[in-house]
Amino acid sequence: MAVILKATVVLKKNKGKKISENDEVDSGKWTELPDEAKELDKKLCQITKDKNEALRGQDFEKAGKLRDEEMEMKARSSNY
């Protein structure tokens, strides 16, 4: 999970540009993620955003449920 999400973040931040000579992202290994992994990443980002909004609004019950969902999604995405 961490590798895929980090690779996704790196690609988004740098728009696929080369970061360093030894970077795995540039090797082509992570340039194209499976559709299911991309979808999980989108859902995870939305859940995290919703959780943070709930925290700002002091809706701690909702934030706790979203945290649990977030952790479950991260565990699922570790399969990629």
The pLDDT, as a whole number, for residue 76 is 83
| Residues 38-74 pLDDT 10s | 888 899 999 999 999 999 999 999 999 999 999 998 8
The pLDDT, as a whole number, for residue 3 is 45
Establish how many alpha carbons lie within 13 A of residue 47's alpha carbon, considering only the half-sphere containing its beta carbon. 17
Residue 50 tokens read as 């919703």
| Residues 9-35 pLDDT 10s | 544 555 555 555 455 544 555 557 678
User: Has this prediction a pTM greater than 0.85?
Assistant: no
The pLDDT, as a whole number, for residue 56 is 97
